[in-house]
Amino acid sequence: MNKSRTASLIQAMMQAAAAALLFLLLSAPAQAVPSFGRQTGQPCASCHTVFPELTAFGRQFKLRGYSLGNQLDDNKFPFNLPLSGSLIGSHSSIRDSRASDPSEDFPRAGETILQTAAVYYAGKITDSSGAFVQYGYDGIERRWAIEMADIRYASSTMLRNKELLFGVTLNNSPGVQDVWNSAPMWSFPHLEDAGIMPEVAPALDMALAGQAAGLGLYGFWDNIL
């Protein structure tokens, strides 16, 4: 067997091994940030049934400033911090292309690419405050940035013998504070198929994400109003 054929065989075996590894690593879209589950001791389905929509418990968790749960309280620093992370990579191999040189159409073909990497602070800060902050790396734009931030303080009092839950939210993307997770910013990139996204969209739909700061006050009386 000549050297070129041996090299081709080795390359094919490596590609097959890489494909098998990627297949084993494939998973469904994440249903929640793991640190929320570690803090509350609840499964992800307690907050999400259909991602990204929140259940009644998920909405209460968000309204109360991400501070529910004490499962991390007995741990020592830094293990008591509600931290999580994610990592997504890809490897593409192009066999055919309309161009004489496939690298013209696919300049990064054959490379293993880090698509995204993210660190989350997601959970309690104090007994009355908490945050959901994502600091991530974009492998396409090749930069790090705070992608989503929702920092809250919440408390409650009694009004006409009914609980009045109230709070403050400081955030960096219009809609990130939505307690139903139904605002446009929760739709992408969480959709399984980005091809269904419309070509025309209002500025509220991701255009201002990470570029605007918002401060909001909210109240929730008797789980009704």
Here the tokens at position 139 are: 């492998």
SS3 content of the chain, % helix, strand, coil (to 5): 25, 30, 45
pLDDT of 30 over the 50 cut: no
Entry pTM: 0.72
Please write the tens of the pLDDT for every residue from 103-119.
667 777 777 888 889 99
Mean pLDDT of the chain: 80
CA distances from 72 to 2, 46, 58, 75, 133 (A): 60, 18, 19, 6, 18
Long-range CB contacts for residues 200-208, cutoff 8 Å, separation at least 24: 204/174, 204/175, 208/173, 208/174
Domain residue spans of the chain: 29-91+106-194+201-221
Residues 207-225: tens digit of each pLDDT: 777 778 899 999 999 999 9
Helix (H) or strand (E) holding 56: helix 56-63
